[in-house]
Chain A
């Protein structure tokens, strides 16, 4: 099976769609977990596509946080609570920031890229923690939002929010699958494996990296915006290194074979974390660590390689 061929990935996205539709009928705590996981899954997907280009972003929380704060600040400071404005605004803000920082970061590779992305996310963390007008470390609450002018009643608000998240996550997955099947997406692997050869074939590796960075930033910003709307609360921990590390964890755990892998992977991680916290409140991090170790040792290509192996037969 080809590793660079993403043309059939939309079939997997339909599978994800079916799962998420079924998820609508889950108990509300579990459905909320699923909703937050797929919103965060977009950020993990952003990390995953950069990994295809050989780049590990230890600061993807930056865009998760910017997307969330774009929504939060518009809603609280400017009283804009219309989704039709909030979501596009979050996307535009993260795309602009991603475009500017992408010009810088596309020059770096390996550990330098990882550390720079981490440093940039921690700069925002430092700024937010000092910003008393944004609630410092506590962050702030976001009021209920309107869906194209309609404000859903309290009782069904969570339903609306779930549907919004699912629809936008699925659209993003389709968009990313399309991107990965395009020349720019296919060449990510070439950057990771032999940049010199790529240049000698007439393609700019920097351009390929810039595009993947921009795509990753944008979907991460959307993920942050969706998480902000779902939670009704945001805080600077969204750009803390522990959050970013979680996205890297998921991307590694899930694998790079499908756009739905990190999205589902995030949900699996949240489930393991929830149950580990339940059963072993003092040792849950150890359990997560053991899971990670097991996946790296037994499935170096991530959990998705199990699915691939089955379909290859």
Chain B
């Protein structure tokens, strides 16, 4: 496998629920190190797409290849093992554990040594690594706070930090700034994007705020009614008439 193999390739990916096509004809190719924003109004198929790539939904048709390997139809556990991680629109934490414990448990659960639970024991090295990662995300101050009591924005940050444990190659962020107040959005994205990028991770994120898209994406894929409307550079996509009409306008009035 050469380094030119695209990280993620989907071909004619489709998901229908009964007769309703939630997403169809989705063909994209994402290379290593890209920063891709996925935009679209509600119901455009963005989350359906992410759910298919991460194995939560089985595609009705089409295929997904990750590093050249066919991962169509794998479950979330198997896609995670393959190296794809995600964060969630509503932070998915272990609420009764502290932030540090969340990171340690994540490390243990995501550990490479498959099968062997002995090799995944709680160790000081693991705790130090978890603390170091919290620091990189600027979360060391809340290390010993129970995750369930943290403010919404911090919970989202922790959720994203958990997706970055063990340096996955592809990280999908599902609306990283939803539920975060407008003033804090940029600051929050700054605190998570920098540490994610320093790992050479490939990022795909669903986002409604075009300021954030402009600042953190190099490429934008716009969804409309379950299809890809346009896929290109940030300037190109955000200047597109249809995008302005159906996507950006749609958000502004939503």
Task: List the B side residues contacting A182 at CB < 8 Å.
Answer: 117-118, 120-122
A interface SS class = helix
Q: Mark B57-93, 1 if CB is under 8 A from A, else 0.
A: 0000000000000000001111011000110100011
Which of B36-44, B103-111, B134-142, B239-247 contacts its partner? B103-111
In the bound complex, CA of A201 to CA of B107 (Å): 9
Quick check: B121 and A193 within 8 Å, CB to CB?
A: no
Quick check: B54 and A4 within 8 Å, CB to CB?
A: no
Cross-interface CB contact of B109 among A5, A181, A198, cutoff 8 Å = A198
Knowing A194-B92, A197-B93, A199-B76 are in contact, say whether A4-B120 is a contact too (CB < 8 A): no
Cross-interface CB contact of A199 among B77, B94, B101, cutoff 8 Å = B77
Task: List the B side residues contacting A181 at CB < 8 Å.
Answer: 121-122
Contact residues on B (Cβ < 8 Å of other chain), bracket: 20 to 34
Task: List the A side residues contacting B88 at CB < 8 Å.
Answer: 197
Number of interface residues of A (CB under 8 A): 27
Q: Mark A147-185, 1 if CB is under 8 A from B, else 0.
A: 000000000000000000000000000000000011111
B86, closest chain A residue (CB): A200
A202 within 8 A of B: yes
Task: List the A side residues contacting B93 at CB < 8 Å.
Answer: 194, 197
A7 within 8 A of B: yes
What distance in Å separates the Cβ of B80 from its nearest Cβ neighbour in chain A? 4
Knowing A190-B109, A202-B81, A203-B77 are in contact, say whether A7-B117 is a contact too (CB < 8 A): no
In the bound complex, CA of A183 to CA of B85 (Å): 20
Knowing A187-B105, A194-B95 are in contact, say whether A200-B76 is a contact too (CB < 8 A): yes
Quick check: A197 and B119 within 8 Å, CB to CB?
A: no
B229 within 8 A of A: no
B148, closest chain A residue (CB): A193
B12 within 8 A of A: no
Quick check: A190 and B94 within 8 Å, CB to CB?
A: yes
Quick check: A203 and B97 within 8 Å, CB to CB?
A: no
| CB proximity to B under 8 Å, residues A191-248 | 193-194, 196-204, 211
Number of cross-chain contacts by CB at 8 Å: 93
Quick check: A187 and B109 within 8 Å, CB to CB?
A: yes
In the bound complex, CA of A2 to CA of B105 (Å): 12
Quick check: B119 and A183 within 8 Å, CB to CB?
A: yes
What distance in Å separates the Cβ of B191 from its nearest Cβ neighbour in chain A? 21
A5, closest chain B residue (CB): B122
Task: List the A side residues contacting B80 at CB < 8 Å.
Answer: 199-202
Quick check: A201 and B109 within 8 Å, CB to CB?
A: yes
Task: List the A side residues contacting B116 at CB < 8 Å.
Answer: 183
Cross-interface CB contact of A197 among B92, B111, B118, cutoff 8 Å = B92
In the bound complex, CA of A200 to CA of B81 (Å): 9
Quick check: B111 and A183 within 8 Å, CB to CB?
A: yes
Quick check: B117 and A183 within 8 Å, CB to CB?
A: yes
What distance in Å separates the Cβ of A308 from its nearest Cβ neighbour in chain B? 15
Quick check: B101 and A3 within 8 Å, CB to CB?
A: yes
What distance in Å separates the Cβ of A70 from its nearest Cβ neighbour in chain B? 27
B96 within 8 A of A: yes
Cross-interface CB contact of B110 among A7, A196, A201, cutoff 8 Å = A201
Best-buried of A181, A183, A186, A201 by chain B (most CB within 10 Å): A201
In the bound complex, CA of A17 to CA of B227 (Å): 67
What distance in Å separates the Cβ of A54 from its nearest Cβ neighbour in chain B? 10
What distance in Å separates the Cβ of B163 from its nearest Cβ neighbour in chain A? 8
Quick check: A200 and B111 within 8 Å, CB to CB?
A: no
Quick check: A200 and B96 within 8 Å, CB to CB?
A: no
Knowing A199-B76, A202-B81 are in contact, say whether A187-B108 is a contact too (CB < 8 A): yes
In the bound complex, CA of A151 to CA of B52 (Å): 66
What distance in Å separates the Cβ of A141 from its nearest Cβ neighbour in chain B? 42
Quick check: B110 and A202 within 8 Å, CB to CB?
A: yes
In the bound complex, CA of A3 to CA of B78 (Å): 29
A6, closest chain B residue (CB): B122
What distance in Å separates the Cβ of A107 from its nearest Cβ neighbour in chain B? 15
Contacts A/B (CB < 8 Å), 23 sampled: A3-B97, A4-B97, A4-B101, A4-B104, A5-B122, A6-B122, A182-B118, A183-B122, A186-B122, A187-B108, A189-B94, A193-B95, A194-B92, A194-B93, A194-B95, A196-B92, A197-B162, A198-B109, A200-B76, A201-B80, A201-B106, A202-B78, A211-B117
7 closest A-B pairs (Cβ-Cβ)?
Answer: A183-B120, A202-B80, A184-B117, A183-B117, A201-B109, A203-B109, A193-B94
Given A183-B119, A198-B109: 12 more A-B contacts, CB < 8 Å = A3-B97, A183-B108, A186-B122, A189-B94, A193-B95, A194-B94, A199-B76, A200-B54, A200-B92, A202-B77, A202-B110, A204-B77
